[in-house]
Amino acid sequence: MVVPDQRDPDLTRDRLTGWLATRLPDAGGVAVPTVGRPYAGTGFSSETLLFTAEWTRDGERHERRYVARVAPAAYQVFPDARAGFDRQYRVMRALAGHVPVPDVHWFEPDPEHLGAPFFVMDQVEGRVPADMPPYHQDGWVTEVDPLARERMWWGTLERLAQIHRLDHRALGLEFLDQPRYGATGLEQRLGYYAEYLSWAYDGPQPTARAALDWLRAHRPPERHPPSLLWGDSRIGNVVFAADGTPRALLDWENATLGAPEEDLAWFCYLDRHHSEGIGVPRLLGFPDRAETIVGYEKLLGRPMEDLEYYEVLSAFKFAVIMARIGQAFIDFELIPSDSDFPANNTATQLLARVLDLPMPGEEPAPFI
């Protein structure tokens, strides 16, 4: 499900054309002949527009394909999505040349043009695994050779290790710290998601609340300095070449500082959700959890510590996100207002299994 598309394509094309002409002042005949989307409708977190631009310079005609990421105007999945929308742009600019990200060209803070701030980057040729339907269930990932899937998996993890080895201070990324939620690391992450949970959905969240209690009670020591985290580390945020080689890493809106274990746990957990969580087997070629942990320890050069804790954190985080998406479904009248979907969905059901809690709809016992 996605937010119904309410954008006028002709008006959008005209506005992009006028805006682009101001960004290419030495070009003539600027035109935007096509504007589309990577899938039907508009996503919740931020809107993605794919467009082709044409112009003439020094008598030569040019054509280039771009992506515009537009700040959420209709609905926010994350509490600070609008206020911190420029963070994605700043992170991707800082990462250029260090990890494969699309070339980012312009940031436009004025909402006059597209109804919200946006930034423009190059389109990268390739394919991205789908979330709807999940890639273990259907789509092009089910059709490729298992060796290509293995390359997708390890290639993404190699890029993830590159991220975790970067010096975020040297890159000027200290702004990703959010001290208002607590000290950098787990205290901050739990503070952020506790506030997020209260904001996400108006109804009760017994499964997520029980998980938050568990996470607070079992918080492990943090033995290493904070690293740069991708924040949404998964193969569904990677553009792949036909042979399974990663070409670009996408979606940096949740980039933060913390333990690499958090990124690795999210990587494994989202894949688990897209298989076990929806009741379908994992595709051949993707390494299992144990292989992944051993392989990543070699890539990063140190053991992964307290990974079970970070997997619970991942399950909790996804339940909070799905609660907010469930609230959006209600607000957009895609489901009835009395639906229990925000508290009873595949994410909360898998969270309950991870912590051996009663299934959503039953009252879980509190953790003490």
CATH of the domain at 164: 3.90.1200.10
Residue 87 lies in a domain: yes
pLDDT at residue 362 in the model? 59
Whether the bond into 206 is cis, omega within 30 of 0: no
80 — pLDDT class (breaks 50, 70, 90): confident
Overall average pLDDT of the 207-215 stretch: 98
pLDDT tens sequence across 155-178: 999 999 999 999 999 999 999 999
Same domain, 34 and 173: no
Same domain, 40 and 69: yes
Neighbours of 170 (CB within 10 A): 8
What DSSP character marks residue 180?
Answer: G
pLDDT at residue 82 in the model? 73
pLDDT at residue 366 in the model? 39
Average pLDDT of the chain is: 93
Same domain, 104 and 166: no
Same domain, 85 and 212: no
Residue 152 lies in a domain: yes
Residue 40 has pLDDT above 80, yes or no: no
Same domain, 316 and 281: yes
pLDDT at residue 365 in the model? 39
Q: Could you tell me whether strands 227-229 and 118-122 are parallel, antiparallel, or unpaired per DSSP bridges?
A: unpaired
CATH of the domain at 34: 3.30.200.20
Report pTM: 0.93
pLDDT at residue 368 in the model? 29
6 — pLDDT class (breaks 50, 70, 90): low
Residue 3 lies in a domain: no
Same domain, 89 and 166: no
Residue 367 lies in a domain: no
12 — pLDDT class (breaks 50, 70, 90): very high
Overall average pLDDT of the 320-332 stretch: 94
Residue 132 lies in a domain: no
DSSP 3-state of 123:
coil
Amino acid at 175: F
Q: Establish whether 232 is a catalytic residue.
A: yes
pLDDT at residue 7 in the model? 78
How many separate domains does the chain show? 2
- Enter the tokens of residue 37: 């989307």
Same domain, 200 and 257: yes
Same domain, 245 and 112: no
Same domain, 106 and 208: no
Range of the domain at 199: 140-354
The CA–CA distances, whole Å, from 320 to 211, 251, 310, 313, 358 equal: 11, 18, 15, 11, 18
- Catalytic residue, chosen from 86, 232, 251, 288, is 232
Overall average pLDDT of the 98-104 stretch: 97
Overall average pLDDT of the 273-293 stretch: 97
44 — pLDDT class (breaks 50, 70, 90): low
